[in-house]
Amino acid sequence: MIKAPRGARDLLPPDTALWNFVEATVRDVFRLYNFHEIRTPIFEETQLFARGVGEETDIVSKEMYTWEDRGRAESDKGQSLTLRPENTAGVVRAYIEHKLGTRGLNKLFYIGPQFRRERPQKGRYRQFYQIGAEVIGPAASGSESPARDAELLEMLGTLLDRLGITGWTLELNSVGCSDCRPDFNEALRKALEPVVDTMCSDCQRRAVNNPLRVFDCKVPADQPIIEKLPRMSQFLDEKCRANFAAVREILDAIEIPYTLNDRLVRGLDYYMRTAFEFTHGALGAQNAILGGGRYDGLSEALGGPHAPGIGFAIGEDRLVMSLPQTAASALRKPDAYIAPLGAGMNGPAARLARELRRQEIVTELGDETFRLKKSFEIASKAASLYVLIVGENEVKSNTFALKNIETGEQVMVPRSELAAKIKNK
């Protein structure tokens, strides 16, 4: 038997209804903040991620699905392509390619699959889905303002509230900028030098290539060492300090609660200043629902104009897992199951189904060869509210037997009143 590949999964009903509920709510909320949808390709040139995400990151160094394309055309040959492991790089590439900054398109969102070759576990997949938004634009558009950081965080709080997700924590940090981070990196290197030999192999590599990443380490034995390391908060320069204070001031003013976490560094190279994560207790080990931050230098790193930006990516798989139980009861079940009774009844039944569906009644349609008992069984299994019987007498009198499956009550209803009666429950 052929199964779905490891780390990839089928999303099945009734869960897909939850996914649709999430996506519809996302679209409604993002609309209120004037975000517009963008859809970028699922694969891109490998270069884009090497430059935009960073060669040294786990994502680029170990987790990407990359292949050499063997196209027919000479120009395709040997091109290295990669399934997107995240969507910010693609959005910024599109922003540059289509000069979106000059068209005032500064607020973009996306919903779609991403791919990383990670070790699959609950809440971590190789094909997973992200919902993300980016505010990016020329400095004159205000994209650099701390007001944007706070607005984005408030939007996320609103989204989680609308989805009925409670008990989330917003963790906040500033990771400094290219002016002050080098000093911090230096201090970290120095502090790590005498102890790094006792740390895990990942940390030994990080200490050399990108010491900030040591804070990503989850190995228990390394934690006491990491606890004693210097923190970015001690090295923020005046501008970064003021910027972080301004973001927090707005959050306080609009009463968005947050926790400072000076160990929070984002896994991606282009982040600067504001970095954040929303976590949820019920998720277990993979407790981050979403992460994001500011990336003022990314557009330039990809060969574009100066275009400060900030964005986030929500793990949709985890968002769906965090939904309250009550969300499931919002799933729409069939209103009516139409049971054609006897030869020649498929036509009249189909006609009735067509009429009801045009009046927004969710309708299941049976078959004239089914006995009534079988029709009832199928209707119950589908959790239909009513069974509607279409037999010769019903068709003649244009009045139909409508049975409420739960109460067992059965009434005769004229055709013209059926939809209203069913809607009234």
Can you give the binding site for ligand AMP, defined by CB under 6 A?
Answer: 86, 116, 118, 123-125, 128, 130, 267, 288-291, 313, 315, 317-318
Among 298, 325, 324, smallest CA distance to 311 is for: 298
Report, in Å, the least distance between residue 281 CB and ligand AMP: 14
Specify the residue, 156 or 250, whose C-beta has the smaller distance to ligand AMP.
156
d(CA 416, CA 425): 16
Specify the residue, 7 or 304, whose C-beta has the smaller distance to ligand AMP.
7
Give me the DSSP letters along 384-396: -SEEEEE-HHHHH
Report, in Å, the least distance between residue 86 CB and ligand AMP: 5
Report, in Å, the least distance between residue 393 CB and ligand AMP: 57
Specify the residue, 142 or 281, whose C-beta has the smaller distance to ligand AMP.
281
Number of H-type helices and E-type strands within the chain:
16, 16
Residues recorded for the chain: 425
d(CA 148, CA 262): 21
Specify the residue, 38 or 290, whose C-beta has the smaller distance to ligand AMP.
290
d(CA 82, CA 60): 10
Report, in Å, the least distance between residue 302 CB and ligand AMP: 17
Q: Is 309 helix (H, G, I), strand (E, B) or coil?
A: strand
Instruction: Specify whether the CB–CB gap between 341 and 407 falls below 8 A.
Output: no
Specify the residue, 84 or 181, whose C-beta has the smaller distance to ligand AMP.
84
Q: Which residue has the tokens 């090295």?
A: 235
24-44 core/surface letters (b: 16 or more CB in 10 A; e: else): ebbeebbeebebeebebeebb
Report, in Å, the least distance between residue 269 CB and ligand AMP: 12
d(CA 359, CA 216): 55
Specify the residue, 49 or 386, whose C-beta has the smaller distance to ligand AMP.
49
Q: Is 206 helix (H, G, I), strand (E, B) or coil?
A: helix
Specify the residue, 49 or 128, whose C-beta has the smaller distance to ligand AMP.
128
Among 151, 106, 113, 57, smallest CA distance to 313 is for: 113
Specify the residue, 56 or 118, whose C-beta has the smaller distance to ligand AMP.
118
Give the DSSP H/E element, type plus range, for residue 225.
helix 223-227
Among 371, 356, 310, smallest CA distance to 146 is for: 310
Report, in Å, the least distance between residue 116 CB and ligand AMP: 5
Specify the residue, 107 or 266, whose C-beta has the smaller distance to ligand AMP.
266
Cα 391 to chain centroid, rounded: 48
Report, in Å, the least distance between residue 25 CB and ligand AMP: 17
| Residue number with the smallest Cβ distance to ligand AMP | 315
Report, in Å, the least distance between residue 1 CB and ligand AMP: 25
Report, in Å, the least distance between residue 130 CB and ligand AMP: 5
Cα 365 to chain centroid, rounded: 35
Give the DSSP H/E element, type plus range, for residue 295.
none
